[in-house]
Structure 1
Amino acid sequence: MGKVSVLIVDDAPFIRDLIKKGLRSQLPGIEMEDAADGRKAQTMLSRQSFDLILCDWEMPEMSGLELLTWCRSEEAHQKTPFIMVTSRGDKDNVMQAIQAGVSDFVGKPFTNEQLITKVKKALSRVGKLEALVARGPQRATSAFANDSLSALTGNQPAPAPATRAPSGGGKTNFGQGQLRLANASMACVIKALSLKEAVLIVKRGDNLPQVLDNAVLDLEQGEEVQEIARLNGYLHSVAALEPKPSSEWLQLFFRFVDKDPAKLEYLSRLIARGTAQKHYVPGA
Structure 2
Amino acid sequence: MSNVSVLIVDDAPFIRDLVKKALRSHFPGLQIEEAVNGRKAQQVLSRTGFDLILCDWEMPEMSGLELLQWFRAQPDQGSTPFVMVTSRGDKENVVEAIQAGVSDYIGKPFSNEQLIAKVKKALQRAGKLAQLQAPRPRASTGSAIGSVANLTGGRQTSSPVAPAPAPAPAPAAASPPRAAQPAPTPPAAEQAGGQRVRGQAQLRLAGEQFACVIKHLSLRDALVVVRRGERLPQVFESGVLDLEQDADRSVARINGYVHAVAALEAKVDCDWVKVTLKFVDQDPEKLDYLSRLIASGTAQAHYSPSA
Q: Deviations over 1:188-225 (max 9, x none)?
A: 000010000000000101111101100000112223x2
Aligned length: 263
Using the alignment, how far apart are the partners of 1:136 and 1:188 within structure 2? 39
The alignment partner of 2:244 has SS state of strand
Indicate which of 267, 270, 275 corresponds to 1:252.
Answer: 275
> What is the Cα-based RMSD across aligned positions, in Å?
2.1
Q: Residue in 2 aligned with 1:240?
A: 263
Asked if structure 2 preserves the Cα contact closer than 8 Å seen for 1:204 and 1:249, the reply is yes
Q: Find out whether 1:199 has 2:220 as its counterpart.
A: no
Greater alpha carbon shift after TM alignment, 254-263 vs 72-81: 72-81
Matches within 5 A, 1:156-195: 161-166=182-187, 167-168=190-191, 169-170=193-194, 173-195=197-219
Change (3 A) 1:68 1:91: same
One-letter code aligned to 1:222:
D
Change (3 A) 1:261 1:194: same
Q: Find out whether 1:77 has 2:100 as its counterpart.
A: no
Q: Percent identity?
A: 63
The alignment partner of 1:231 has SS state of strand
Shift of 1:48: 0.4
Asked if structure 1 preserves the Cα contact closer than 8 Å seen for 2:82 and 2:102, the reply is yes
Matches within 5 A, 1:32-43: 32-43=32-43
Asked if structure 1 preserves the Cα contact closer than 8 Å seen for 2:197 and 2:215, the reply is no
Shift of 1:227: 1.3
Matches within 5 A, 1:261-280: 261-277=284-300
One-letter code aligned to 2:297:
G
Shift of 1:243: 1.4
Shift of 1:14: 1.0
Asked if structure 1 preserves the Cα contact closer than 8 Å seen for 2:9 and 2:35, the reply is yes
Using the alignment, how far apart are the partners of 1:251 and 1:25 within structure 2? 32
Change (3 A) 1:252 1:213: same
Matches within 5 A, 1:4-83: 4-83=4-83
Shift of 1:162: 1.0
Using the alignment, how far apart are the partners of 1:135 and 1:24 within structure 2? 12
Using the alignment, how far apart are the partners of 2:208 and 2:302 within structure 1? 25
Asked if structure 2 preserves the Cα contact closer than 8 Å seen for 1:160 and 1:178, the reply is no
Shift of 1:183: 2.1
Q: Deviations over 1:111-147 (max 9, x none)?
A: 1110000000000001000000225369xxxxxxxxx
Q: Residue in 1 aligned with 2:242?
A: 218
Change (3 A) 1:37 1:186: same
Q: TM-score, normalised by structure 1?
A: 0.87
Shift of 1:159: 6.2
Change (3 A) 1:237 1:173: closer
Q: TM-score, normalised by structure 2?
A: 0.81
One-letter code aligned to 1:68:
L
Q: Residue in 2 aligned with 1:129?
A: 129
The alignment partner of 2:50 has SS state of coil
